[in-house]
Amino acid sequence: MKNLPPSYLGKKVFIDGPDAKFYVVRYEEHVGKKKTHCLLFDQDTPVIFAVLSDEGAFLDSFYLSKKSNQASTNAVETYEEIVQRKKQYRVTQDDLRDALKPKSEAKMKNENIMKHLVDEHLEDIKNQWPSRLLTLQKTDGKSEESLINEALSEAIRQANANKSFDFLVSHRYDHFVPQLGFVMEKYPNLLPQVTDYYLEYNETKIVKQLLINTCESVSLDDTPLIESVLSLARKIDHIHYSSVLKLVLSILFKRVKQDRKSSPKAWLNDTVHDKAIRHSIVAALKSKKTG
């Protein structure tokens, strides 16, 4: 079974020696599907440039104090540009430590901390930059309810979903990808792209939640997107002998009953026109009552 391509951000690299020295990957740039350019840091200082394979093997590495090439120069220059841009957000080290905590535990001394975190996420998504916030969450985070993650959810709601998807994938923040379902109505062409990507790696759980979130937020009049959701659910069921189609239908039917005060059957007749999908729906409804 194929594994999802890795992200090395936040990974510790130990150097052989009596003092067990280690460095942390705080910058990476994926080069194609098989290589990643990385900067390894001692605290806040980039010390080593490395080229890693998709299996984590070192293809090349050297100390920046002793050598450089075009790839390492580009990496350092991009990192320095990111650092300069981060300064505008006025996020202190105390703020970053606070950002690792859930809102119920955070001190929130900086009343603008959430805005600063959201803005930083948005700029990272826009520029596809390696995120210091997500790196910090990976290395030091103890709560999935942290301000960093809460701010990321808000940024996903505001950002271009196509760029959000690329950003989340490159950081291996796959568990946040289903949140794209809440904005999928604006980016309907993204749904099959995301689905195909994860099904290639047999990551059906992510796709299932993405379809659920899309069903919970899509307009009940959006025939193309609804048919796309139902078609993809049928595809998953066909491959994995699951019942995702029944699940998304039950969500849609519940919304129809609550919001339209009409029968699911009448809504289906008005909304779903694809004959193959309608046939699959009939088969699903016959096998077990839905909604």
Q: What residue spans define the domains of the chain?
A: 1-87, 90-163, 173-291
Cα distances from 63 to residues 22, 31, 147, 183, 201, in angstroms, run 13, 20, 35, 44, 35
Burial of 278 (0-12, 13-18, 19+ CB in 10 A): middle
**For residue range 26-73, what is the model confidence (pLDDT) as tens digits?**
999 999 888 999 999 999 999 999 999 999 999 999 999 999 999 999
Mean pLDDT of 112-116: 93
Q: Which tokens belong to 224?
A: 């193309």
**For residue range 58-68, what is the model confidence (pLDDT) as tens digits?**
999 999 999 99
DSSP for 41-68?
A: EETTEEEEEEEEETTS-EEEEEETTT--
Answer yes or no: is pLDDT of 1 > 90: no
Q: Which tokens belong to 159?
A: 């950002």
Per cent of the chain over pLDDT 90 is 82
**For residue range 147-184, what is the model confidence (pLDDT) as tens digits?**
999 999 999 999 999 999 999 999 999 999 999 999 99
Q: What is the C-alpha separation between 207 and 181, in angstroms, rounded?
A: 10
Mean pLDDT of 270-286: 89
**For residue range 184-216, what is the model confidence (pLDDT) as tens digits?**
999 999 999 999 999 999 999 999 999 999 999
Cα distances from 92 to residues 33, 95, 184, 279, in angstroms, run 35, 5, 35, 58
Mean pLDDT of 73-97: 89
pLDDT of residue 288: 58
pLDDT of residue 17: 66
Mean pLDDT of 12-31: 87
Q: Is 236 in contact with 203 (CB distance < 8 Å)?
A: no
Q: Is 56 in contact with 62 (CB distance < 8 Å)?
A: no
DSSP for 136-162?
A: HHHHH---TTBHHHHHHHHHHHHS-HH
Whole-number average pLDDT of the chain: 93
Answer yes or no: is pLDDT of 101 > 70: yes
E strands, the chain, in order = 12-14, 22-31, 35-42, 45-53, 58-63
Closest by CA position to 158, among listed 137, 135, 182:
182
Mean pLDDT of 268-278: 92
Answer yes or no: is pLDDT of 291 > 50: no
Cα distances from 93 to residues 44, 124, 142, 276, in angstroms, run 12, 19, 17, 56
